[in-house]
Amino acid sequence: MRRVRQVRRVRRVPQGSAGPAGPAGISTATFEDGSVTPTGIPQVVAQRTLPAGSWVVIATVQTSWGSPDIGGDSVSTFCRLNSDGALMGAQNAEVRGDLDGAQEQVLTITGGTFVPGGQTRTVALQCSSGLGNSLKIYGRMLIMQVGGFS
């Protein structure tokens, strides 16, 4: 008995052009941390100089203090995100003077900035408070480079 060998012919299909680019996403993420004992004027808690691109910043601030002796008044803690001095976002928290014992508050601030090619921008988290040395402010910025803004 004779065997018959079958041969398959493969037809080559020409490759088409590449499709459109996928959606832009996060390409870089970094953190910047810091802390300050505030005064009545804004102080830099954390900052980072950014290269060209589109950037989104999420800042988290935790205020912590012992027993503030502020009587029945309230005192504000104000924090803001800046990009070379331009406001990106801000939050304010108030402390009531009739609270006893240690207190904490958490603020979240979001913002975005675009840095043109060949330039840099410094993003800074700044905070101030009237509580002075009885208060400590801890801050962290999550800084993400994105494909753009819509």
8 lies in a domain? Answer: no
Q: Is residue 49 part of a domain?
A: yes
Within a domain: 125? yes
- Is 64:138 a contact under the CB 8 Å cutoff? yes
pLDDT at 17: 80
In a domain, 7, yes or no: no
What's the CATH number where 50 sits?
2.60.120.760
Q: How many domains does the chain have?
A: 1
5 belongs to a structural domain: no
Residue 58 lies in a domain: yes
Amino acid at position 107, single letter: L
CA 91 to chain centre: 14
Query: Model's pTM, two decimal places?
Result: 0.76
CA distances to 59, 67, 101, 103, 129 from 126, in Å? 10, 24, 26, 21, 11
Identify the DSSP state of 147: S
| Range(s) of the domain holding residue 56 | 26-146
How far apart, in whole angstroms, are the C-alpha atoms of residue 67 and residue 134? 8
Read off the tokens for 128. 């101030």
Q: Are strands 121-129 and 43-50 parallel, antiparallel or unpaired?
A: antiparallel
Q: Is residue 76 part of a domain?
A: yes
- Predicted confidence pLDDT, tens digits, the chain (150 residues): 566 666 666 677 777 787 676 556 788 899 999 999 887 788 999 999 999 999 999 999 998 766 555 555 566 788 999 999 999 999 988 766 555 656 678 899 999 999 999 999 999 999 988 765 567 889 999 999 998 888
In a domain, 11, yes or no: no
pLDDT at 72: 56
